[in-house]
Structure 1
Amino acid sequence: MNFDGASGCIAAARDATSAFLDDQALPAHPTFHDDVLLVVSELVTNAVRHAPGPLIFRLTLLRDRIEIIVRDTDHRTPAARTPGLDGGRGWSIIHTLACDVRVFPHHDGKTVRAEMAW
């Protein structure tokens, strides 16, 4: 899915994720659905907050996990920071819930890929 990068795309990504998970009816652990929604929210929120312009969001079912992809226009690699009133918790939440997180730089930004086992 392509999004314009405005704040409304965070809710749209969550809605699309929820529909995708409901449609797949995965035999997942009890908190899987909520955990995936949280990781999607954090990844898309980071892209909206830190990258100007459009972003690409994609979900893919793999053999025993789900792949979450967010591609944005910011060249900076995400990094953990001290939590405060202005945020700083998202990157550590993503790393806690996902079994694999990788960042791939591109000439026009980066792709963040998180995989979550079900």
Structure 2
Amino acid sequence: MELPPATPHDACPPEVCVDFDGVAGCIAEAREAAVAFLRLHVPHARTTFRDDVLLVISELVTNAVRHAPGPLTLKLGLLPGGIGITVRDTSPSPPHSRTPDRTGGRGWPIVQSLARRVRVVPGPNGKTVHVELAW
């Protein structure tokens, strides 16, 4: 997958923003975008960090596909000491934990356990979930 160019100004940390149609196939596309971003901007990141980033993206995008009809946006950006992951979708409902069963319920607790910081911001047409992961 080809990514849009990173922010060209040297004073700004690299970031990428990718829009998806919100169907199940976009989960793999979001992971591909993350792999490309990490290879380009964090080539020496340890494998466990890359795996954590991909897991968080998979969970956030999967939740958006399941619970928010319509398009979604994934944004990745470098932060001091880590990476920021943002997913914007069309559902006004915030993510929440539920009792795990055969169909799910494990994702949001996993995201919270891996994150340095999690923030959910409601908007007029949905919500934005911000997650920060430390190196």
TM class, shorter-length: over 0.9
Matches within 5 A, 1:26-105: 27-105=44-122
Deviations 1:49-72 (A, max 9, x none): 000000011101011110000000
* Corresponding residue of 2:28: 11
Which structure 2 segments of 5+ residues have no match?
1-17
Higher relative contact order (CA 8 A, sep 6+): 1
| AA aligned opposite 1:36 | V
TM-score, scaled to structure 2: 0.84
Q: CA deviation at 1:22?
A: 1.1
CA distance in 1, matches of 2:42, 2:21: 29
| AA aligned opposite 1:13 | A
Detail structure 1 runs of 4+ shifted over 4 Å in the superposition. Answer: none
CA distance in 1, matches of 2:36, 2:72: 20
Instruction: Determine helix, strand or coil for the equivalent of 2:127.
Output: strand
* Corresponding residue of 2:129: 112
TM-score, scaled to structure 1: 0.96
* Corresponding residue of 2:41: 24
Alignment length (residue pairs):
118
CA distance in 2, matches of 1:9, 1:27: 26
Q: CA deviation at 1:25?
A: 2.8
* Corresponding residue of 2:14: none
| AA aligned opposite 1:72 | D
CA distance in 2, matches of 1:14, 1:30: 15
CA distance in 2, matches of 1:21, 1:10: 17
Percent identity for Structure 1 against Structure 2: 58
Which structure 1 segments of 5+ residues have no match?
none
Name the stretch that deviates more: 1-10 or 28-37.
Answer: 28-37
